Every structure is written in C-alpha cells, then in structure tokens.
C-alpha cells in the first residue's frame, strides 16, 4: 500500500452551510488576519499536505457566507507563516488577464518557496461576465476553450525567463543573460499576450495546475484532477476517466464530519442541518469516528494519488483531523506527510518540468 | 542655505512633521554589484527585510512603482539593470504578515485592470494589513504596455483620464458596497449577512460597465488611501479633486513650494481644506560622516549608475539604433536619427515621441557647455538628492517641510535589501531631535499615520455628483 498526501479545502467556516454557527468565533471575525494566521498555522502543523483556497461566487444566491478575500493574496499571506503546506488558490481563468494572473501566481510560488498551485476554475455566467462589463461565452465549449487559452498563456509566461538567466556579469555590465529570455507571444482565440512575465521562472518551474474534473479540452494542461463522486465506485470511475485523459495525478474530494467535543458526528450533523440543510452534493461524505473514517479513507489509497478533505466545520473538525485522523492514517501506512523544504511538486511526485523554450532550442 | 533658515516659529508650518516612505520604483536598479544573492530581487523575504528596516525607522509607507511590462532597449530586454519584481499586491499580502505599522502603497494602472479585480485585491491587502493599504492611481495610453493585455492599447491620451475617473469611481463604489457592520456579530443572529449589509454595484458609464456584488469587508481604516502621480495641468487637477497624497518630482526648494501651493489651491477650489492632501516627491538621500564623505559616496553611486553601456543606451534610446561605435567622450553623433518616432518602450528618455526635437535640444545644450556625450548624459540624468551629514540633511529637510515645500519624501534606497541603514540609524534621530519626526507611530492604520481623515470619497461633493452622473441604479 502506498502513502499519499492529504489536503484540505478552506472554504469559509467549513463545507457545511451552517458551519458559521458552530465556529469558535463570531461571524464578523472570519476575515481578520489573526484568525487566518491561526487557522493556517494549525493546518501547517497537522501533517496536511496542501490547502485549497476556494473562490467565492458572490452572486450565487445561496451563499451562506458571502464574504471572502482574494484567493491568491490570502494564499501569499498564509505562505508567510507556514513552512510545509502546499497553497492552492482557486482562480477562475475566464475573464482574467493572463499576464496579471501569471505574475500573481508566480509571486505566490516565490513567497512560498515552491509550495504553490493553481486550482483552475472555468466558470462563466451572465453575472460573472457582467463584473467585467462583458457578455458570457455562448456556444458549446467556448467558455472552456477560453479557460484553456488562459491556462496555456499563463504557463507560457512562467517559462519566459529561463533558469540561470541572472548572471550579474560586472565586467560586461550585464545583469541578465539575453539568450535566456523570450517573448511569450501566447495566442488565444480572443487575445494575444506578448510577455515576457514580470519575474524569473517560479521556483517549481511551473506551479502545479489543478482543476476540478477537467474535460478533454482542459485536461492536457492539468497536473492534478480533483474528482468527486457520491460513492467510492463513482470516485474511482471519475479518477479513471481523468487518468484516461492523461492527467498525471488524481485527488479525491471527500466531505467529512467527525465525532468531536463529546458529540457524535450524527448528532453534530443533525444540529447543523436543523440550522441549514447540507444537501447531498457530488462528493463522497463520510461521518463517524476518526477510526472509522481513517479505515474508509485508507481504502482509497491504492486508487487515487491524494485526498482533499472538506470538513463540515473547520474549527471543530480540524483539531480532530490533526490529533486523531491523520495519526491513524499514518499508522495504517497510507499518509505521506510533507517535509520542510519540499515543494508541492515533491509532495505529489511530479517532476520539475523542462522549460518549453529550452526544449525548443535543444530540439532545433 | 543657512541664511535662509529661520527659527521654527517663523515658518509657515512650524509644527509640521516629515513623512518618509521607502520607494522602490519598477526598476531599473543599476547597482546590483554589491548583491550576494541575485534572487533577492525577486524574493518577498528580501523585500520584507527592507520594509522591516523602514518600519524600524518609523517610515509611513513602502511605495512601489508600477509594473506592467519589462523595460526593453532596442527591441530586447534591457539587460544592464535589474528588471522585474513580484506582483505588488501579492507581495503586499506577504509584507502585511511580517509588519504591523508601515503602510503599503502600490502604483496600479486603471487602463489595464478591471475594477472588479482591483477592488477585491486592494481591499484584501487592506484587510490583511488591518488598514495599511494605499493605491497610487496611474493611467496610461501606452499601446506597447497594452500588448501584455487582452484589450491592447485601446485608449487615447484624453480618454485615459475619463476612463480612469470611471474606473476609480467603480472601485470606490464596490468598496462602499460592503458595510462595516454587514457581518453578524453573533452566531445566533438570523443570518451571517445582515439585511442591507451588501449593496450590488451596477455602473454603466461611457467607458466601462461593471455589475458587481462586493465581497470584501472594509478594513479598520475604511478604505485604502488614494494617491496620485501626475504633473500635467490635467493630472494636477485630477489629483486635487480626490487624491489624499500626490507623488511628484519637485524637490528644488522654490519649485517645490510653488508646486505644493498650487496643489493646495486647486484642492481648496474643490471644497477641500487644502492640507488634506500630502505632497510627496521622490528623492534620494546620501549621508556621510563629513560633507566631503557624503559627496564622495554620492559620486560613487553616480558612477555606478552611469556605466558606459548605460550612457550609450540613453543616446541610443533617442537615435533608435545601435551606437556601439560612438566615442562617449566625444560629441553626439553627427547624423540625426533616422527614426521619426521614439519607440514606446517605457525607455529612459521621454521625447514626446519626436526624436528630432530632443536631438535639437541636446545639441544646443552640448554646444553651450562644450559637453561630451558622457557629460551631457550626466547633466540630463542628474536627479535631486539630499547629500550631507545627518545633521545637515536633517536641517535642510526641516526647512523644507516647515516651509510647506512638501509633506514627505519617497526615498529610494541605494542598495537592496539593505540600503536604508544610514537613513534609519543616522538621519532619523537627527530629525527627531529637531521635532520634525515622531518617536513612535501615531496609530495603527496608514490613514492614522499619515494624519488623514476618513475616506476622501465620502467628503468631496464633486465625487457625489460624479457618482450620480455615472451610475444607473439597477
């Protein structure tokens, strides 16, 4: 049995829509820096390998907690006080400026010394588009093709400075080696981005690119597919599908509710559901003792490359994840804990990619 | 100079204080020879070291120039300077975590950003820093920069200000749309969000449209402090209407006094008090043990700045061709440039896009003084610096600030990341002794530390009218 990394999703107060009612702090302190630092420090110390930072769909009608910070900046802020955990902000590719996005994400990789990823979202709607004064994409796969073009442009921008470009040759009065920079000239269906990017190649070469259930248009640009599915069989089928599309790593998203603070998971869920029902979505949901959930999660270790946990209430479930669930998974021989100095690529067993411009030169 | 110096009480502003900001322009940094770690220029951690040093010296803010395209020279990246740096707001998120008092001011362009993104991103820095963010609003019509963006160069010179007006108004409306008490204070309230806590913004202007639901709560300072750069008549007016700080380059005494008086007068004409706008020029400071020592340091920095390749580049920028064969200690090239327009590469020399006019001006100057190319370039690029012993520079700065020549300085450090030591350890104590510099931060937010009142947007009637004109309610 192999060991795999386990991460967490940091949505608001937790995955349950009533999570804010069970949090340890009043709603108005959700976005204070002290609270954000405390939470990410707990994640970093726990043995969790990565944290995804979800984007808020502010215009979604059912948003229980309709406030959130910019995901990349929140991740950079978290990078300043953590050492091991991978930081994966979600950012919608559609309507975004590829140049800004490439630089912001690259800055995250620099700030975290190679612990950064990008969870690509490819969502469009008349409301989202109206934020940018545009119309939503129409037609079969116009939106996802747009997302593909943005991801491709961002990836190309990351390569525009080759490694070893900084030379500081005093004699020749040259700081940079001009043979090692390139225009991106990234061509999309609706844009052309000249480049080069704003700063040298990110420490990981390329950030780890994640996507939820990428389709065949996006999949070739994705390193990690996050897959849902209500049953273990469904999860495995989706994982196989992503593998079939050539995505190197598959991570299963699992909702969890743990026995905690003297209450059973069922009791907790009951109370939370009375405040706001947690509709069964598209993910596996496990509830019970840490021992039981550890057994169930361990069963996935041979089928997927990692797990992303969605705890019902972060304040309540995270301490149990850290103190009971992860140690049990470790004892079962399935948990891979991150080490100091590892990059997110190291954690996921992904190699540092060769620069496309270097590749082109070698092949010419 | 000394004969001009008065007793403190005889000044226009006897009790004025000086603000110091650390200014990191978007490159080019020419003195990279003393840097052991080349990657430091891109490491947020190195920036943190610089900014902590500034915070130790009670600096009001760190101020970043804008960064939308790397500098080029004759169609290639400019390789003689450090170029590039982290994204400003992402970097600020990092600095916010490692500092507690210093302000974080980013220069961000309205032309190549969307209000929905910029509003969220600036507000996030403001929240993460507990009220220490500032926005230096700039605008451009530069199509060369536009090549890095979806829309390309889409604005002409005049419309860029109109576009900027609508952009800024949209950003401020998005900030206004999330009330300070929007979130519940208790977990027992009926909902997380209180009724009316968030107001959708729906703007349809002549130049941009945006329908946005605000998602970031206000910070302890309400909204980010609003700076502006710009020296044209239009730019000064734009600033005087709404800016809370203005970034300039006027540091010659008479010029600075006149500029500041002009800005205050314009601000008063818009119903403001006039002293609710801070005038902050950029300058460098060189401190020595003796006047001669300071001069020697300044001369050394200058030499490092004007290397042969750099001198040649400045001439090549105008001629738009490789001038490798030209003797720098001889006269300007005899032939006029073949190029009719200067390429718009954010180069060093701003010619107004007509090289021939610039060349005539240069030739006249060189003839009048008998300058070689090197001497001419030295003359052209001489920037104002405050050079002297800590005591002398402190005297001079006290004189400037009490005379209302400016409110503060944006100081570019002479090295990275450790170029502020002399200012912090030697100049600041002298300034404190003269009563023009505080001994601790007055507050925790940037607004408090700059002595600024609540967000300007709520106080300027002009803006209310503008909002009405531009907004179409949903």
CA dist A308 and A283 (Å) reads 11
Report the residue of B150, B208, B221 to disrupt the A interface, i.e. the one with the largest count of A CBs within 10 Å: B150
For B43, the enclosing helix (H) or strand (E) is none
- The tens place of each residue's pLDDT in chain B, 474 residues long, gives 444 567 777 898 999 999 999 998 776 566 777 777 888 899 999 999 999 999 999 999 999 998 899 988 888 888 888 889 999 999 999 999 999 999 999 999 999 999 999 999 999 999 999 999 999 998 887 888 999 999 887 777 778 878 888 999 999 999 999 999 999 999 999 999 999 999 999 999 999 999 999 999 999 999 999 999 877 888 888 888 889 999 998 999 999 999 999 999 999 998 889 999 999 999 999 999 999 999 999 999 888 888 899 999 999 988 888 999 999 999 999 988 876 655 554 444 444 557 788 899 999 999 999 999 999 999 988 877 899 999 999 999 999 999 999 999 999 998 888 889 999 999 999 999 999 999 999 999 999 999 998 765 544 444 444 444 444 332
Superfamily of domain A6-123+205-363: Luciferase-like domain (3.20.20.30)
B35 contacts on A by Cβ (under 8 Å): 168
pLDDT in tens, A205-256: 999 999 999 999 999 999 999 999 999 999 999 999 999 999 999 999 999 9
Q: What is the pLDDT of residue B110?
A: 92
Whether residue B282 contacts residue B249, with contact meaning beta carbons closer than 8 Å, is answered with yes
C-beta atoms of B89 and A95 within 8 A: no
How many residues are there in chain A? 364
Residue B10, Cβ neighbours under 10 Å: how many? 9
Q: Indicate which of A63, A76, A177 best probes the interface with B, i.e. most B CBs within 10 Å of its own CB.
A: A76
Could you give the residue range(s) of every CATH 3.20.20.30 domain in chain B? 2-290+385-470
Cα of A80 to nearest chain B Cα, Å: 6
Average pLDDT, chain A: 95
Check residue A57 and give its pLDDT.
Answer: 77
Report the Cα A88 to chain-centroid distance in Å.
3
Whole-number pLDDT of residue A139: 79
Best probe of the B interface among A21, A29, A109, A131, by most B CBs < 10 A, is: A131
Phi-psi region of B453 (alpha: psi -120 to 50; beta: other; left: phi over 0): beta
Which chain B positions have a beta carbon within 8 Å of A130's beta carbon? 209-212
d(CA A102, CA A157): 7
Classify the phi-psi angles of A18: left when phi > 0, otherwise alpha if psi is within -120 to 50, otherwise beta.
Answer: alpha
The answer to whether B33 contacts A170, with C-beta atoms less than 8 Å apart, is yes
Using pLDDT thresholds of 50, 70 and 90, give the confidence band for residue A166.
Answer: very high
pLDDT for the residue numbered A41: 98
Q: Which residues of B21-38 are buried (b: 16+ CB within 10 A; e: fewer)?
A: bbbbbbbbbbbbeebeeb
* Count of CA atoms in the C-beta half-sphere (13 A) of A221: 24
Cα dihedral B276→B281→B287→B293 (10° resolution): -150
Cβ distance of A70 and B213 shorter than 8 Å: no
3 state SS of A16: coil
**Of the candidates B394, B392, B398, B388, which has an alpha carbon nearest to the alpha carbon of residue B430?**
B394
Give the model's pLDDT for residue B353. Answer: 57
Give B304-351 as a DSSP string: HHS-HHHHHHHHHHHHTS--TTS-TTSPPPSSPPS-SS---S--S---
How many Cβ atoms are within 10 Å of B156's Cβ, its own excluded?
A: 10
Smallest CA-to-CA distance from B303 within B229, B393, B377 is with B377
Does the pLDDT value for residue A83 go beyond 50? yes
CA distance B441 to B96: 16
Cβ pair A181:B77 closer than 8 A: yes
- Which residues in chain B are contacts of A162 at CB distance < 8 A? none
Question: How buried is A139 (Cβ within 10 angstroms: 0-12 exposed, 13-18 middle, 19+ buried)?
Answer: exposed
Query: Is residue A164 over pLDDT 70?
Result: yes
Q: Residue B337 CB: number of other CB atoms within 10 A?
A: 20
What is the torsion angle, in degrees rounded to the nearest 10, for the CA atoms of residue A163, residue A166, residue A167 and residue A173?
140
A27/B82 CB distance under 8 A: no
- Position B381 scores a pLDDT of 85
> Is the pLDDT score of A162 beyond 50?
yes
- Of the listed ranges A297-311, A333-347, B345-359, the one predicted with least confidence: B345-359
Q: Are B93 and A73 within 8 A, CB to CB?
A: yes
Is the separation of the CB atoms in A176 and B77 below 8 Å? yes
Beta-carbon separation of B215 and A67 below 8 A: yes
Question: Shortest CB distance from B42 goes to which of A80, A96, A110?
Answer: A110
Residues from chain B contacting residue A70 (CB–CB below 8 Å): 89, 120-121, 124, 216
Residue B95 pLDDT: 98
Q: With CB atoms and an 8 Å threshold, state whether B94 touches A80.
A: yes
How confident is the model at residue B461, as a pLDDT? 43
Query: Which pLDDT score is estimated for B460?
Result: 45
> CB-CB: which of A32, A72, A131 is closest to B90?
A72
Q: For position B457, what pLDDT does the model report?
A: 52
Report the largest interatomic distance among the alpha carbons of chain B, rounded to a whole angstrom: 82
So what's the pLDDT on residue B451? 94
Give every CB contact of residue A176 below 8 A, 6+ residues apart in sequence.
Answer: A165, A166, A167, B77, B79, B83
For residue B465, what pLDDT is reported? Answer: 46
Q: How far apart are CA A26 and CA A13, in angstroms?
A: 11
* Number of C-beta neighbours around residue A245 at 10 A: 17
Give CA–CA dist A215/B173, Å, rounded. 38
Give the closest residue to A74 by CA, choosing from B177, B219, B45, B94: B94
Cα dihedral B389, B393, B398, B404 in deg (nearest 10): 170
Judge whether A108 and A145 are in contact, CB under 8 Å: no
Domain ranges in chain A are 6-123+205-363
> Could you give the CA distance from residue B60 to residue B47 in angstroms, rounded to a whole number?
16
CA B151 to chain centre: 25
For B7, other C-beta atoms within 10 Å of its C-beta total 7
B260, B251 contact by CB (below 8 A): no
Q: What is the pLDDT of residue B455?
A: 65
Partner residue opposite B39 with nearest CB, options A108, A131, A166: A166
Fold of B2-290+385-470: TIM Barrel (3.20.20)
Check whether A263 has a pLDDT greater than 90.
Answer: yes
Phi, psi (5° rounding) for residue A263? Answer: -115, 145
Using CA atoms, how far apart are residues A90 and A77, in angstroms rounded to an integer?
15
Work out the minimum CA distance from A108 to partner chain B, whole angstroms. 7
Instruction: Using CB atoms within 10 Å of the CB of residue A162, give its burial: 0 to 12 exposed, 13 to 18 middle, 19+ buried.
Output: middle
Could you tell me where the beta strands, DSSP code E, fall in A56-165? 86-92, 117-121
Closest residue, chain A, to B124 (C-alpha): A69
Residue B95 sits at φ, ψ, to 5 deg, of: -65, -35
């Amino acid at each position: 049995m192999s060991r795999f990394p386990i991460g967490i999703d940091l949505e608001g107060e937790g995955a349950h829509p009533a999570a804010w009612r069970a949090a340890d702090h009043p709603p108005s302190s959700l976005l204070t820096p002290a609270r954000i630092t405390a939470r990410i420090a707990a994640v970093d110390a726990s043995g969790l390998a990565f944290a995804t930072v979800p984007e808020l769909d502010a215009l979604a009608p059912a948003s229980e907690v309709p406030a959130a910070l910019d995901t990349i900046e929140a991740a950079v802020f978290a990078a300043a006080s953590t050492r091991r955990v991978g930081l994966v902000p979600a950012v919608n590719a559609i309507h975004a400026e590829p140049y800004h996005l490439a630089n912001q994400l690259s800055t995250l990789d620099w700030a975290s010394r190679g612990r950064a990823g990008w969870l690509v979202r490819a969502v469009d709607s008349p409301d989202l588009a109206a934020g940018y004064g545009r119309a939503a994409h129409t037609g079969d796969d116009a939106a996802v093709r747009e997302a593909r073009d943005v991801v491709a442009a961002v990836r190309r921008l990351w390569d525009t400075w080759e490694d070893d470009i900084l030379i500081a040759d005093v004699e020749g009065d040259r700081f940079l080696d001009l043979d090692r920079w390139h225009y991106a000239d990234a061509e999309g269906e609706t844009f052309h981005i000249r480049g080069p990017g704003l700063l040298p190649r990110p420490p990981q070469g390329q950030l780890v690119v994640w996507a939820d259930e990428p389709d065949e248009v996006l999949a070739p640009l994705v390193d990690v597919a996050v897959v849902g599915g209500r049953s273990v069989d469904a999860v495995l089928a989706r994982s196989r599908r992503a593998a079939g599309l050539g995505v190197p790593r598959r991570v299963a998203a699992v909702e969890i509710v743990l026995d905690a603070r003297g209450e059973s998971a069922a009791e907790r869920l009951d109370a939370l559901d009375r405040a706001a029902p947690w509709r069964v979505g598209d993910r596996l949901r496990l509830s019970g003792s840490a021992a039981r959930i550890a057994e169930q999660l361990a069963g996935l270790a041979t089928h997927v490359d990692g797990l992303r946990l969605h705890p019902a209430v972060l304040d309540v479930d995270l301490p149990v994840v850290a103190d009971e669930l992860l140690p049990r998974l470790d004892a079962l021989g399935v948990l891979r804990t991150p080490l100091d100095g590892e990059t997110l690529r190291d954690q996921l067993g992904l190699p540092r990619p060769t620069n496309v411009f270097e590749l082109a030169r070698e092949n010419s | 100079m000394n004969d001009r110096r008065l007793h403190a009480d005889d000044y226009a502003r006897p009790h004025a204080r000086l603000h110091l900001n650390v200014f990191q322009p978007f490159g080019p940094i020419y003195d990279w020879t003393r840097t052991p770690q080349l990657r430091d220029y891109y490491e947020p951690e190195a920036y943190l070291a610089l900014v902590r040093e500034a915070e130790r010296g009670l600096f009001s803010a760190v101020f970043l120039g804008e960064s939308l395209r790397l500098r080029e020279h004759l169609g290639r990246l400019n390789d003689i300077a450090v170029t590039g740096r982290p994204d400003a707001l992402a970097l600020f998120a990092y600095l916010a975590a490692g500092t507690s008092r210093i302000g974080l001011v980013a220069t961000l362009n309205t032309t190549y950003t969307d209000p929905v993104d910029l509003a969220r991103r600036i507000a996030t820095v403001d929240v993460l820093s507990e009220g220490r963010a500032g926005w230096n609003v700039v605008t451009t019509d530069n199509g060369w920069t536009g090549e890095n963006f979806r829309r390309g160069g889409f604005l002409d010179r005049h419309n860029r200000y109109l576009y900027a007006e609508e952009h800024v108004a949209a950003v401020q409306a998005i900030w206004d749309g999330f009330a300070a008490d929007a979130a519940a204070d208790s977990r027992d309230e009926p909902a997380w969000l209180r009724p009316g806590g968030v107001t959708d913004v729906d703007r349809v202007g002549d130049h941009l449209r945006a329908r946005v639901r605000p998602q970031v709560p206000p910070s302890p300072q309400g909204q980010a402090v609003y700076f502006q750069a710009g020296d044209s008549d239009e730019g000064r007016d734009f600033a005087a209407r709404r800016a809370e700080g203005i970034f300039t380059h006027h540091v010659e005494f008479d010029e600075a006094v006149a500029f500041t008086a002009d800005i205050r007068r314009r601000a008063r004409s818009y119903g403001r008090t006039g002293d609710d706008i801070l005038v902050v020029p950029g300058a460098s400071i060189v401190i020595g043990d003796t006047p001669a020592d300071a001069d020697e340091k300044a001369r050394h920095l200058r030499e490092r700045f004007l290397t042969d390749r750099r001198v040649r580049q400045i001439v090549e920028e105008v001629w738009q061709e490789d001038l490798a064969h030209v003797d720098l200690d001889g006269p300007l090239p005899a032939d006029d440039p073949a190029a009719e327009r200067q390429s718009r590469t954010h180069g060093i020399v701003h010619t107004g896009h007509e090289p021939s006019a610039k060349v005539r001006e240069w030739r006249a100057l060189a003839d009048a003084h008998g300058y070689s190319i090197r001497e001419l370039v030295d003359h052209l690029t001489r920037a104002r610096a405050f050079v002297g012993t800590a005591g002398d520079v402190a005297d001079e700065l006290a004189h400037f600030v009490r005379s209302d020549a400016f409110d503060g300085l944006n100081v570019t450090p002479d090295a990275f990341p450790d170029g502020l030591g002399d200012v912090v350890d030697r100049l600041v104590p002298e300034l404190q002794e003269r009563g023009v510099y505080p001994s601790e931060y007055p507050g925790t937010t940037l607004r408090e530390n700059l002595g600024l009142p609540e967000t300007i947007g709520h106080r300027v009637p002009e803006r209310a009218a503008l909002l009405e004109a531009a907004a179409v309610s949903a």
